[in-house]
């Protein structure tokens, strides 16, 4: 067939196959027999083989990559993926409504859109000119892993948007999940092959998305529901400005996405509760798992006005269903010592099946919780999974307590000495946790090393708990700095560590020296400093020297930090042993300063402390991260959306819908020069 004829036929075949896929996966109304689809697919495949220059990324034949990926790359989300606040009963749901209504008491007419909360993994999809160009995992909401090759295998995700004139850019959010029948089939195949079974569909979906081989992902037949779209302002194409969450869902479906068919528009909170109650039983008949209901205010304008807290959108909430519960008998209580020295009691009980997994132990948190439960060895207890993830003891069935456990002398008390190092333990005044303060405690060292090597910290592949246990027990490592002196000869003597594995681990340890200053700070395990706080601190203090010498008041002035975290950080850097550690890490070549510190920025004063800024458009000279750093160093806050609490909108070229929203709310708008005038220049 001539190239011109082949080109025309290829276009026809792609349109036919895309229409058939849309009808099958989105509308659930097949228009074509499987045999016919297969015949057309093979014809397209043959023509593309004959004319490889006519192959395009959106062709149905290109869903599965030819070669496995070697690794996943971290990418920054164009728009943050916020998690949802959870409610577990009617009272918490009504309290949420009261909170947002206090911000807009004038709103008397509103609607909620309810959707089933799918138990899967969140994805962020990017389309440019109608073509899928990127798929990423949620990650921490700011950074995720780019898994486009795997996302392309999901049939419910269109490679090309439906419609003639797509927008130049579109962001779509949704949930990838494994249908229950597919999950069961996968586990049957794994059992026959002698492989470990997946615990539940959620874990199986998450693990599947992180497979390096897209062929495996394709075989596992993930599904997808879209629930949000974001369109940059002033875009052309067939998507006009949306006004509601409901119309957004309808638009997603018209673009070729599958949206959950069981959504509902509710006029009152009572209707939301009725929807929740109805699906508490009906969800058990669905072909996929759900763990709650998501309620969102329907008006997008109202969503924009309410904005976000540090963690959650104020205009949405997840009303979770009660976790599955089961009775079991406590056989013993053991103690775990964590990297901060905290002694955590753990109930060991007869194994029970909960929310798709078998559990045999649950944390008891601290001595206060044990006293509150009046828990004793031999008691029958009710166990559930908090958030369907972490097992916990809910209550004790005292009427079933055995005679031997009845006397008061059988009450359980935490040990007075650390079970790991034998040193006395202390329960500080005002705290619920009992701690070991021996910095040489093997348990603290093991926890510190595992934390240092974790994915969000230095991400040292191959350095897991079992290997850390050997390193500590054989006295090869007494601090994280010792890791950088390990040799292949030392590692090769350990169990299950041949020369090749030792070589890989040494290479991974050396590669960790390239991790940024924020990850090093998080990896140190300073109390109260999580990965997000570490990023905030290193933006405000771009070098170790700046942070280590900063007074607590200066650290506390950074938005989102506060006095407790500031005191913890300041005290940590005052300890001589920690100062020695940082000197050793610096000598080892780790990055203890930000590589992209904004240059020639004005010295920060306190003129904008406590103010909330939103940035829009392209500024003449400042990059957005430079402007953000200026604000945060001065104690201000930067948010991604305009709300009634926004103090200033910094406006650059090609400003988007945020400008319109700010004008409607009467928010002060600043040019770059006006913005910089808020920061007096350094007189030194």
Rounded CA gap, 531 and 537, in Å?
10
Using the predicted structure, report yes or no on whether residue 236 has a pLDDT greater than 50.
no
Q: 517-588 belongs to which homologous superfamily?
A: 5' to 3' exonuclease, C-terminal subdomain (1.10.150.20)
* Share above pLDDT 90 across residues of the chain, in percent, rounded to a whole number: 44
Check the annotation: does 418 bind a ligand: yes
Q: How many helices (H) and strands (E) does the chain have?
A: 24, 21
Neighbours of 12 (CB within 10 A): 12
Backbone angles phi, psi at 518, to 5 degrees: -65, -40
Check the annotation: does 87 bind a ligand: no
Check the annotation: does 38 bind a ligand: yes
List C-alpha distances in Å: 605 to 66, 414, 650: 55, 49, 18
What pLDDT is attached to residue 598? 39
Task: With cut-offs at 50, 70 and 90, classify the pLDDT of residue 587.
Answer: very high
For 259-280, write each residue's pLDDT tens digit: 999 999 999 999 999 999 999 8
For 125-182, write each residue's pLDDT tens digit: 999 999 999 999 988 788 888 999 899 999 899 999 988 888 888 999 999 999 988 8
Check the annotation: does 36 bind a ligand: yes
Check the annotation: does 637 bind a ligand: no
Using the predicted structure, report yes or no on whether residue 391 has a pLDDT greater than 70.
yes
For 411-461, write each residue's pLDDT tens digit: 999 999 999 999 999 988 877 889 998 878 999 999 999 999 998 899 999
Check the annotation: does 320 bind a ligand: yes
Domains 325-426 and 517-588 share a fold: no
3-class SS of residue 348: strand
Q: 442-513 belongs to which homologous superfamily?
A: 5' to 3' exonuclease, C-terminal subdomain (1.10.150.20)
Neighbours of 56 (CB within 10 A): 14
Using the predicted structure, report yes or no on whether residue 653 has a pLDDT greater than 50.
yes
Check the annotation: does 138 bind a ligand: yes
Rounded CA gap, 630 and 647, in Å?
16
Task: With cut-offs at 50, 70 and 90, classify the pLDDT of residue 597.
Answer: very low
Task: With cut-offs at 50, 70 and 90, classify the pLDDT of residue 46.
Answer: confident
What fold does the segment set 85-320 form as a domain? D-amino Acid Aminotransferase; Chain A, domain 1 (3.30.470)
Describe the strand order of the beta sheet including 668-670 as a list of residue ranges.
Answer: 637-639, 612-616, 648-651, 668-670
Task: With cut-offs at 50, 70 and 90, classify the pLDDT of residue 66.
Answer: very low
**Residues ≥6 apart with Cβ < 8 Å to 664:** none
What fold does the segment set 325-426 form as a domain? OB fold (Dihydrolipoamide Acetyltransferase, E2P) (2.40.50)
Rounded CA gap, 569 and 662, in Å?
37
Q: Which of 117, 385, 628, 637 is catalytic?
A: 117
3-class SS of residue 121: strand
8-17, 69-78, 97-106 — which one is most confidently predicted on average?
Answer: 97-106
Task: With cut-offs at 50, 70 and 90, classify the pLDDT of residue 34.
Answer: low
Task: With cut-offs at 50, 70 and 90, classify the pLDDT of residue 601.
Answer: very low
Helix (H) or strand (E) holding 208: helix 201-209
What pLDDT is attached to residue 40? 78
Q: 3-54 belongs to which homologous superfamily?
A: Helix hairpin bin (1.10.287.610)
Using the predicted structure, report yes or no on whether residue 600 has a pLDDT greater than 50.
no
**Residues ≥6 apart with Cβ < 8 Å to 293:** 114, 115, 116, 117, 272, 275, 276, 279, 318, 319
Task: Work out the mean pLDDT of the chain and round it to a whole number.
Answer: 85
Region 196-216: mean pLDDT is 80
For 381-390, write each residue's pLDDT tens digit: 999 875 456 7
The string of DSSP codes covering 437-459 is: --TT-HHHHHHHHHHHHSTTTT-
Task: With cut-offs at 50, 70 and 90, classify the pLDDT of residue 237.
Answer: very low
CB 552, CB 568: distance < 8 Å: no
For the chain, domain boundaries: 3-54, 85-320, 325-426, 442-513, 517-588, 612-677
- Active-site annotation holds for 117: yes
For 399-423, write each residue's pLDDT tens digit: 899 888 888 888 999 999 999 999 9
Task: With cut-offs at 50, 70 and 90, classify the pLDDT of residue 62.
Answer: low
Q: Which residues pair with 327 in a beta bridge?
A: 382
Note the CATH number of domain 612-677: 3.40.50.10190
What pLDDT is attached to residue 683? 37
What pLDDT is attached to residue 343? 93
What pLDDT is attached to residue 682? 41
* Share above pLDDT 70 across residues of the chain, in percent, rounded to a whole number: 89
The string of DSSP codes covering 575-609 is: SHHHHHHHHHHHHHT---B-TTPPSSPPPP-STTT
Check the annotation: does 175 bind a ligand: yes
What pLDDT is attached to residue 253? 92
List C-alpha distances in Å: 160 to 39, 429, 544, 629, 639: 21, 61, 47, 38, 32
Check the annotation: does 591 bind a ligand: no
Question: Which has more pLDDT, 675 or 117?
Answer: 117
Within a 13 Å sphere around the CA of 247, how many CA atoms are in the beta-carbon half? Answer: 8
Check the annotation: does 34 bind a ligand: yes
Check the annotation: does 37 bind a ligand: yes
What pLDDT is attached to residue 628? 81
């Amino acid at each position: 067939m001539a190239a011109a004829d082949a080109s025309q036929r290829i276009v026809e075949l792609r349109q036919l196959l895309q229409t058939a896929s849309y009808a099958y996966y989105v509308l659930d109304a097949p228009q074509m027999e499987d045999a016919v689809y297969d015949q057309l697919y093979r014809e397209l495949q043959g023509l593309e083989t004959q004319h490889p220059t006519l192959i395009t990324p959106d062709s149905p034949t290109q869903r599965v990559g030819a070669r496995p990926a070697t690794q996943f790359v971290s990418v920054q989300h164009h728009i943050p993926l916020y998690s949802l606040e959870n409610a577990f009963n009617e009272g918490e749901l009504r309290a949420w409504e009261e909170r947002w209504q206090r911000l807009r008491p004038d709103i008397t007419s509103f609607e909620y859109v309810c959707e089933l909360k799918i138990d899967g993994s969140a994805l962020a999809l990017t389309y440019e000119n109608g073509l899928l160009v990127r798929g990423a995992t949620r990650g921490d909401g700011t950074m995720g892993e780019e898994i486009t090759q795997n996302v392309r295998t999901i049939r419910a995700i269109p490679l090309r948007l439906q419609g003639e004139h797509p927008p130049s850019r579109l962001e779509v959010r949704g949930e990838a999940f494994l249908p229950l029948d597919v999950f069961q089939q996968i586990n049957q195949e794994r059992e026959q092959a002698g492989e470990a079974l997946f615990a539940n569909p959620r874990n199986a979906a998450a693990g599947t998305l992180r497979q390096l081989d897209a062929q495996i992902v394709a075989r596992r037949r993930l599904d997808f529901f879209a629930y949000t779209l974001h369109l940059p302002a002033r875009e052309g194409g067939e998507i006009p400005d949306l006004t509601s969450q409901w119309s957004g869902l309808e638009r997603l479906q018209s673009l070729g996405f599958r949206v959950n068919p069981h959504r509902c528009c509710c006029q009152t909170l009572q209707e939301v509760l009725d929807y929740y109650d109805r699906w508490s039983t009906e969800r058990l008949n669905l072909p996929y798992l759900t763990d709650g209901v998501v309620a969102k205010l329907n008006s997008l304008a109202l969503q924009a006005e309410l904005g976000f807290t540090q963690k959650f959108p104020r205009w949405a909430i997840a009303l979770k269903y009660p976790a599955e519960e089961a009775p079991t008998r406590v056989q013993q209580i053991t103690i775990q010592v964590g990297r901060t020295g905290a002694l955590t009691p753990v109930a060991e009980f007869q194994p029970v099946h909960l929310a798709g997994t078998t559990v045999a132990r649950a944390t008891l948190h601290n001595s206060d919780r044990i006293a509150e439960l009046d828990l004793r060895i031999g008691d029958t207890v009710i166990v559930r999974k908090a958030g369907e993830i972490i097992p916990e003891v809910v209550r004790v069935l005292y009427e079933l307590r055995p005679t031997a456990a009845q006397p008061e002398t059988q009450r359980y008390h935490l040990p007075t000495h650390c079970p790991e190092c034998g040193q006395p333990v202390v329960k500080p005044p005002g705290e619920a946790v009992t701690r070991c303060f021996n910095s040489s405690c093997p348990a603290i060292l093991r926890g510190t090393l595992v934390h240092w090597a974790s994915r969000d910290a230095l991400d040292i592949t191959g350095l897991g708990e079992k290997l850390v246990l050997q390193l500590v027990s054989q006295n090869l490592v007494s601090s994280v700095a010792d890791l950088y002196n390990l040799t292949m000869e030392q590692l090769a003597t350990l169990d299950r560590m041949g020369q090749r594995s030792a070589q890989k681990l040494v290479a991974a340890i050396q590669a960790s020296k390239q991790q940024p200053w924020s990850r090093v700070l998080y990896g140190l395990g300073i109390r109260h400093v999580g990965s997000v706080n570490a990023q905030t601190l290193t933006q405000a203090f771009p070098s170790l020297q700046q942070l280590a010498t900063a007074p607590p008041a200066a650290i506390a002035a950074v938005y989102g930090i506060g006095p407790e975290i500031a005191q913890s950080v300041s005290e940590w850097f005052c300890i001589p042993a920690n100062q020695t550690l940082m000197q050793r890490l610096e000598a080892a070549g780790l990055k203890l300063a930000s590589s992209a510190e904004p240059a020639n920025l004005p010295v920060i004063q306190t003129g904008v402390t406590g103010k909330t800024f939103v940035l829009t458009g392209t500024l003449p000279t400042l990059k957005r991260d430079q402007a953000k750093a200026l604000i945060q160093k001065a104690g201000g806050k930067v948010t991604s959306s305009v709300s009634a609490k926004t103090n200033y909108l910094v406006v650059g070229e090609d400003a988007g819908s945020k400008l319109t929203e700010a004008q409607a709310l009467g928010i002060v708008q600043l040019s770059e020069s006006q913005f910089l005038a808020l920061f007096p220049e350094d007189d030194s």
